[in-house]
Amino acid sequence: MQEINKYRMQKLKNGTYVTFEGAEYLARPVDRRRTRLIWQGTGQPPEGFRELAGRPGVYARVVQNSSLSARRRVRTVVKIKGYSFFVKEEKNGFVLIETDDEKTASDLKMDNIGAGLYIKWIKLDEADGFIEVER
């Protein structure tokens, strides 16, 4: 587990990450032998990455799995008012949390979206902290 400083953090991590040529990228499997690397950042994208159609600022490159030096599954946990949640999504300074626990949902005034699920968008500065968890 790695604690994240919420005021100086980069993008929250949720997904599979791989190391390719010394840099870490979000990864999506293409097939049994290939992986799609995803890069979102400032400046020029790494060599060989092409911008995805309809997704400005998001670049991808497909590589052979044999060229990857590491693979790890990462989830970000947010702590708020004594409760811990996996971050479902991050957008514009907010994170989306979800629970199926009625008491927790009531305590945090979460919205019922049906099927016993409750969600709430939390401002980053309202969180008590963030932790990256490898699974």
Split at pLDDT 50, 70, 90, the class of 106 is very high
80 and 121 in a single domain? The answer is yes
**What is the predicted pLDDT for the residue at 105?**
94
Angstrom distance (rounded) from CA 39 to CA 45: 7
Name the more confident of 90 and 109. 109
**What is the predicted pLDDT for the residue at 7?**
40
The number of distinct structural domains making up the chain is: 2
pTM above 0.75, yes or no: no
Q: Which of 57, 72, 87 is the endpoint of a domain?
A: 72
Q: What percent of the chain has pLDDT over 70?
A: 92
Name the more confident of 65 and 135. 65
**What is the predicted pLDDT for the residue at 134?**
86
Q: How crowded is the C-beta side of 60, counted as CA atoms within 13 Å?
A: 13
Q: Which of 72, 93, 108 is the endpoint of a domain?
A: 72
Residue 4 lies in a domain: no
68 and 108 in a single domain? The answer is no
94 and 121 in a single domain? The answer is yes
- Per the structure, the complete domain to which residue 104 belongs is given by 76-134
pLDDT in tens, 44-84: 999 999 999 988 889 999 999 999 998 999 988 999 999 99
Residue 62 lies in a domain: yes
DSSP for 20-64, written as a single string: ETTEEEEEEE-SSSEEEEEEE-SSSPPTT-EEPTT-TTEEEEEEE
Q: Which of 72, 87, 118 is the endpoint of a domain?
A: 72
Split at pLDDT 50, 70, 90, the class of 8 is very low
Split at pLDDT 50, 70, 90, the class of 9 is very low
